[in-house]
Structures are given as C-alpha cells and as structure tokens.
Amino acid sequence: MNRNLPLYLILPSLLLALFVISYPLYELINLSLSDVNRFGKVRGYIGLENFTYIFEDPLFIDAALRTVVWTVAVVGGTILFSIPIAVILNTEFHGRGIARTILMLPWAISLPMTAIVWRWSLNGEFGMLNASLMNVGLIDSPIVWLAQSATAFPVQIGLGILVSIPFTITIFLGGLSSIPLDLYEAAKMDGANAWQQFKRITYPLLRPFINMAIVLNVIYVFNSFPIIWVLTQGGPNNETDILVTYLYKQAFSFGHIGQASAVSIAMFTVLLIFTIFYARMVMKNEK
C-alpha cells in the first residue's frame, strides 16, 4: 500500500477548497491594506488607513452594535423557544409526527423566499399580517411595519428566530433522545415534579447540545444576509444595517472596496474566534 495514498485522495478537495477560499482571503487582506478605486484598481499600499476609516465611521459603529443586538437577540430567542418546543416534541402525544413536520417547515424554504413572502405579508396596506391582527383585535389601525426601524428591526429579529428554530430543535431532539428514560422513572419514584425533573435531569444533560446550538447559531446569524437585505436593505436611513449589509453596500453600492475589505477582515477575525470555540467543542465531544 502506497504511504501517500491518503494524501492523493484528499488532494483534489484540498485544491478546490484552497482555490475558492484561500485566494479570495488573500485578495481581501491585500485590498484591506490598499488604496483601491471604485473599479477595484489598486493604487498603492496605505497600511491600516481603511481600518481607521471604518472604525471612525459612525454608520459602521452602529452596524457593529446592531449586529451584536441582532445576534444575541436571535440566538437567545431561538434557544429560549427551542428548548420547550423540543421537550414537547420529545413527549409522546397524538399527532406528534405531524407536529414535528410542521415545526420543520421553515427550514424547507430558502431564506430569500421566506423574506420575500414576509415582505408582502408585512405590507402596511394590503398585507395579511395587519389584516389578521386587526381581525383578532390586537391592533386598531394598520402598522407600516417596514417603514421605520422601531418596528422593522424587531420583526426581522422575530423572523430570524423563526427560521433558526427548526435546526435548533433538531439538535435538541437528538440530545433529548440520548437521555435514558429510567432517570425520569427514578426521579418520579422520588417524587420529583415536572419542573424539578427538567432542572435536575433534562437541562444538565442537554447542556452540551445547547452549547453546540449557541455556537453554530451565532456563526450562522452573524453571517445572515437575506432577511435584512430583502426586507429593508438595511434601511430606512441605514437604521437596520448589520455588518453584512453595511459591507455589501460599501462594496457594491458605493464602490468603497478597500474599506469594505477591511470590514470583511474584521468579520473574519470574529468568526475565527467563534470557530476556535466550536472546534474545541467538537474535539472534546469526540474524546
């Protein structure tokens, strides 16, 4: 058996991944340190000037802070909703299969499509959301949801939570199914009520899966572009911009290639830190 055989086997995948990921990364590092005109022509090395520019841009600071709010709110909300949903779906009841399928539905439709459908549902005049809320008496007059950030951003967060729930409950259901049932039997014998059982058995044993779901969701949500882009493009007045939409506008609307590359590198650094967390978690699980 040829000693180098495994290397030959991984080589094609390595080359393709390197080509598609490393080359762009190398370009980004170069561009972020260069003076670049709007057509992408490099005019020379300028050190960290692009980074000082973005860190002094109030729109960048706002977008960065909003990204923190967005990520924490979406991931936090997702975890809070997903735990009880997963616990319910893990108990036996009539029609559980149907319930599971319904809960997985948002996952089956792509984010841009979901966002487009919601954009129409949220329409101030003709949207069904206002009509439905007025029917059940929750609001008196139509709300133009996407016209002001005070309503648009919370709606986007809610939508972010909704589309993250299926993936998260999938992880939790896997975790719950690994908890031995006799633990609950024993707890019942000792007279523990449902809340005590959850606190003493379910939660601690689910904890590694919760950690995993938090890290993976943070990475996905931090990178998530379609919901905000399709609903508001970061508007009105850049008030729903997060880093990815700020980056996209800097690069492809304003032609600030150097500054946008600096944003990319900053985001890449943050992602790398999350990835290290994730990698350590995966390695630990494997041992």
Partner 1 sequence: MLTKMNKKTKRSIFCWLALSPIICVIVFPFAVMFFTSVKPRQEVFSFPPTWLPSQFVWQNYIDMWQATKFSDALINSLYVSFSATFITLLVAIPAAYALARYHFAAKSSYRLFLLITQMLSPIVLVIGLFRLIVWLGLIDSVNSLVLIYAGFNIAFAIWMLQNYFHTIPKDLEESAWMEGASFLQGLTKVFLPMAIPAIAVTAMFTFINSWNEFVLALTVLRTEENYTLPIQVYSLVGGRYTIEWHHVMAAALVASLPAAILFSWLQKKLVTGLSSGAVK
Within positions 56 to 95, which residues make up the interface with partner 1, using CB under 8 A? 81, 84-85, 88, 91-95
Decide: is 205 part of the binding site for partner 1 (CB under 8 A). no
Judge contact between 227 and 163, C-beta under 8 A: yes
Judge contact between 64 and 243, C-beta under 8 A: yes
**3-class state of residue 43 by DSSP:** strand
Q: Which of residues 212-271 bind partner 1 (CB under 8 A)?
A: 219-220, 223, 225-226, 230, 244, 247-248, 251-252, 257, 260-261, 264, 267-268, 271
How far apart are CB 64 and partner 1 at their closest, in Å?
14
Alpha carbon distances (Å) from 175 to 107, 169, 206, 226, 253: 19, 9, 6, 30, 45
- Going residue by residue from 161 to 190, which x/- string records binding to partner 1, judged by CB under 8 A? -x--x----xx-xxx-xx------------
Task: Please count the other Cβ atoms lying within 10 Å of the Cβ belonging to residue 283.
Answer: 9
How far apart are CB 189 and partner 1 at their closest, in Å?
18
d(CA 62, CA 56): 11
Q: Which two tokens stand for residue 10?
A: 């991984």
Decide: is 51 part of the binding site for partner 1 (CB under 8 A). no
In the set 19, 45, 55, 254, which binds partner 1 (CB under 8 A)? 19
CB closer to partner 1 out of 196 and 275? 275
Main-chain dihedrals φ then ψ at residue 36, nearest 5 degrees: -120, 135
Question: Considering only 51-59, 66-74, 118-126, 191-199, which stretch makes contact with partner 1 by CB under 8 A?
Answer: 118-126
